[in-house]
Amino acid sequence: MQFARLNGVVIHHQVIGAAPDRPTIVFSNSLGTDYRIWRDVIVRLAGDFGIIAYDKRGHGLSEAGEGAITMDDHVNDLAALLDHFQAKDVIVCGLSVGGMIAQGLAASRPELVRALILCDTGHKIGTREMWDARIAAITEQGIAAISDAILERWFTKAYRSADNAEFTGYRLMLERTPVQGYVGTCAAIRDADFTRSSAALTVPVLCVVGSEDGSTPPQLVGELARLIPGAMYQEIPGAAHLPCIEKPVELTEIIKAFVDRLPAA
């Protein structure tokens, strides 16, 4: 395990090296998960690409810090992690809130970003009322009280089988997320709107979404792709909100094809 104190909090991360001429892909995970959701993608990319994966603040083994958590905190943490390793011209692959963090990084620190892969995300996700209701429910009752509803949006019906050990494992990952980190990030998503800054992005962008995503549906991700100049759009059939878990082979091939088409760094 690897840890670094950045912006006053300890951030858990993993770095896998590659040949100096190979691109580095950075993975930023979704709300209520840690970087282990990318495992089946990372194992298919390791060796061909440099890899940086991390737990955003308040998730996994990363500290939450004191006080409120803002989207700027998440963006600045990722920037600090890349600065820590003197990483530039990286390809950021972000899922859900991780995709919002990626958009924020490209807007605020464009020198760090070569391209974006925005998975199951949007320039703005949900409404204030929706997020406030979720924050209230979790603060009063805990994550487990509403985890069934969350998991229905995360995974297809076929995957949500009682005898699917992996599904049980990801339920535990969600329910064991620190409440401070979860509700703090809910508030960060609630208050974030990248409509203007993402419309001004100039880096290559690929928007990917599971065809059965119940959290950030294809309509929203398609809207994001139309917002960003020159962005590509692709759906993954048979996946919901977390294609890195349900369809890792397909997502990996999409990532490889996109990177292969990028202009030389």
Beta bridge partners of 16: 51
Q: Tell me, which fold does domain 2-260 have in CATH? A: Rossmann fold (3.40.50)
Closest listed residue to residue 173, CA positions, set 203, 202, 206, 150:
150
- Please give the C-alpha separations between residue 176 and each of 112, 179, 184, 227, in angstroms, as whole numbers: 32, 8, 15, 35
Residue 162 has pLDDT above 90, yes or no: no
pLDDT for position 221? 98
DSSP state of 88: -
What are the tens digits of pLDDT across the range 53-112?
Answer: 999 999 999 999 999 999 999 999 999 999 999 999 999 999 999 999 999 999 999 999
Residue 226 has pLDDT above 80, yes or no: yes
What are the tens digits of pLDDT across the range 184-225?
Answer: 999 999 999 999 999 999 999 999 999 999 999 999 999 999
pLDDT for position 264? 80
pLDDT for position 1? 75
Residue 134 has pLDDT above 80, yes or no: yes
What is the number of other CB atoms lying within 10 angstroms of the CB of residue 155? 26
pLDDT for position 192? 98
Residues whose CB is less than 8 angstroms from the CB of residue 260 and which lie 6 or more positions away in sequence, other chains included: none
- Give me the sheet containing 9-16, strands edge to edge: 2-6, 9-16, 50-54, 24-28, 90-95, 113-119, 205-210, 232-236
What are the tens digits of pLDDT across the range 15-46?
Answer: 999 888 999 999 999 999 999 999 999 999 99
Distance of CA 106 to the CA centre of its chain: 14
Closest listed residue to residue 231, CA positions, set 221, 217, 241:
221
